[in-house]
């Protein structure tokens, strides 16, 4: 530690006084001051050279210098040692992080605010094909060029992961997850889910094959039942045949939904997209819903944004939206008001189905999109539902890059909303801008 900084000034003033006194005694003050200052400067120049030599050398221990130079060198030595210890600790932490990251089977990539690669582990080289000497500081969008990844990356909405094949092998399926940190940096994690996808495909194949095998006997049974029902038979037998026909129709609906769900689960993204004419699609669904309502007298309203259309697969979207509307008709009391709405905001397209029915208890909502989940088993059976409708809706919306949100309050009604990204919405020409109520 450096002692009082004024000590060297004190020594210098005392030395000048001694030099002046000695010069006065020998009757030559100027010469004595010159010699004294020259000696003083030479001394400190030697100390400076020794200090610089030590600083530029690799010796750890400082030189043993007298006076304030010793204090200065020792203080510098302590700060340098503290800095080296801190640097060694940080280096150890970084090395441990890199070793642990290298041991991960998941690819880990750090991307800076300019979308350029800063660091990645060895798994990223195996799964993504990154090359250490070539790809560093390159844009990630130039290396992972799949349009779906670029769309997912630029959207900056990373709540749900993205599943794509690996850029180096079609046999590898990766699940991409991105996390924002710092001032816009990104942490990309790619996980190999090929084994899980294979098991899922085995399950889907089993469901699909079993459903296909059930279609033929059900068709035969329905044909014979229709033939018998055309005959004059005793009432007890006729009643039994009618119940058999009703359950056969229900089984056919279940098989149809299982086949469709299996097909939707086979891929997470729509391969061919085109405008679906959502205005006519929702009008057709409204017409069918009024027929389904019959004597119940549901008040079904339709609100349309005529300026925009939705891009996707019309068969899937028709199935999803009709499931929402028909559920509202089946599971709400007579006279319930049902609103079907298509609207577009600055960030997304929205299709919603709202009703003012009895509502759904909150503990049911997280499980509504599960396969075969029913709030009321007896009521669902009477209405002819298969328990797969909302699961189909969820998968259709996900395949179109969207999200299904459900809100409900007991006694106030329910709202089922499909949110689609802006890039699935197109603007139509030669249409008025105000929305249309039907």
Each domain of the chain, given as residue ranges in start order, spans: 7-97, 104-192, 195-266, 273-437
Cβ pair 303, 339 in contact under 8 A = yes
**What was the pLDDT predicted at 282?**
94
- Supply the pLDDT for residue 433: 47
Distances (CA, A) of 263 to 12, 173, 324, 401, 435: 93, 18, 20, 17, 35
Topology of the domain covering 273-437: Heat Shock Protein 90 (3.30.565)
pLDDT at 384: 54
- Top CATH class of 195-266 equals mainly alpha
Q: What is the DSSP track for 310-358?
A: EEE-HHHHHHHHHHHHHHHHHTS-TT-EEEEEEEE-SSEEEEEEEE-SS
The predicted pLDDT at position 437 comes to 56
What's the pLDDT at 386?
Answer: 66
- The tokens for 370 are 């599960």
Q: What is the CA radius of gyration of the chain?
A: 39
What pLDDT is recorded for position 62? Answer: 77
Tell me if 260 sits within 8 A of 199, measured CB to CB.
Answer: no
pLDDT of residue 41: 86
User: How high is the pLDDT of residue 3?
Assistant: 55
What pLDDT is attached to residue 104? 78
**Residues 351, 418: contact at Cβ < 8 Å?**
yes
Strands (E), 88-139: 107-111, 117-120
Note the CATH number of domain 104-192: 3.30.450.20
Going by C-alpha positions, the residue among 399, 419, 165 that lies closest to residue 270 is: 399
Sign for the CA dihedral angle at 303, 307, 313, 314 comes to positive
Buried b (16+ CB within 10 A) or exposed e, 50-60: bbeebeeeeee
pLDDT at 136: 87
Q: What's the average pLDDT block by block, 10 residues per block, for the chain (438 residues)? A: 63 81 82 85 85 76 78 81 84 75 82 91 89 89 90 86 88 91 90 84 74 77 82 83 81 76 71 84 93 89 91 89 91 91 91 91 86 66 67 89 90 92 84 51
Tell me, what's the pLDDT at 267? 67
Cβ–Cβ < 8 Å for 413, 331: no
């Amino acid at each position: 530690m450096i002692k009082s900084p004024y000590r060297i000034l004190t020594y210098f003033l005392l030395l000048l006084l001694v030099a002046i006194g000695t010069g006065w005694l020998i009757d030559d003050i100027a010469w004595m001051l010159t010699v004294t200052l020259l000696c003083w400067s030479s001394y400190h120049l030697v100390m400076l050279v020794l200090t610089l030599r030590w600083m530029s050398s690799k010796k750890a221990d400082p030189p043993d210098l007298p006076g304030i130079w010793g204090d200065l060198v020792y203080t510098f030595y302590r700060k340098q040692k503290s800095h080296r210890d801190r640097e060694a600790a940080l280096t150890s932490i970084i090395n441990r992080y890199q070793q642990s990251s290298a041991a991960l089977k998941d690819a880990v990539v750090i991307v800076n605010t300019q979308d350029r690669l800063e660091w990645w582990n060895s798994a990223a080289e195996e799964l993504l094909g990154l090359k250490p000497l070539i790809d560093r500081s390159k844009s990630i969008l130039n290396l992972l060029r799949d349009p779906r990844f670029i769309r997912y990356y630029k959207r900056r909405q990373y709540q749900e992961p993205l599943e794509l094949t690996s850029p180096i092998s079609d046999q590898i399926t990766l699940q991409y997850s991105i996390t924002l940190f710092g001032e816009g940096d990104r942490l990309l994690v790619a996980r190999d889910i090929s084994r899980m996808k294979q098991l899922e495909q085995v399950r889907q194949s089993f469901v699909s094959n079993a459903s296909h095998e059930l279609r033929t006997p059900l068709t035969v049974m329905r044909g014979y039942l229709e033939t018998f029902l055309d005959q004059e038979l005793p009432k007890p037998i006729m009643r039994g045949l009618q119940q058999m026909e009703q359950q056969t129709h229900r089984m056919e609906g279940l098989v149809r939904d299982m086949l469709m769900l299996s097909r939707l689960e086979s891929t997470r993204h729509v391969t061919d997209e085109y405008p679906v004419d959502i205005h006519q699609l929702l009008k057709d669904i409204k017409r069918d819903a009024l027929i389904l309502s019959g004597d119940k007298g549901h008040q079904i309203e339709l609100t349309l944004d005529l300026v925009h259309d939705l891009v996707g697969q019309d068969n899937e979207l028709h199935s999803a939206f009709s499931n929402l509307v028909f559920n509202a008709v089946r599971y709400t009391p007579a006279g319930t008001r049902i609103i079907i709405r298509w609207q577009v905001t600055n960030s997304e397209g929205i299709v919603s189905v709202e009703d003012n029915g009895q509502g759904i208890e909150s503990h049911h909502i997280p499980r509504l999109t599960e396969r075969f989940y029913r709030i009321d088993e007896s009521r669902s059976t009477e209405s002819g539902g298969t328990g797969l409708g909302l699961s189909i809706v969820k998968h259709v919306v996900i395949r179109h890059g969207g999200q299904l949100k459900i809100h409900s309050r007991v006694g106030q009604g329910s709202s089922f909303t499909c949110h689609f990204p802006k890039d699935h919405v197109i603007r139509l020409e030669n249409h008025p801008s105000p929305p249309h109520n039907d």
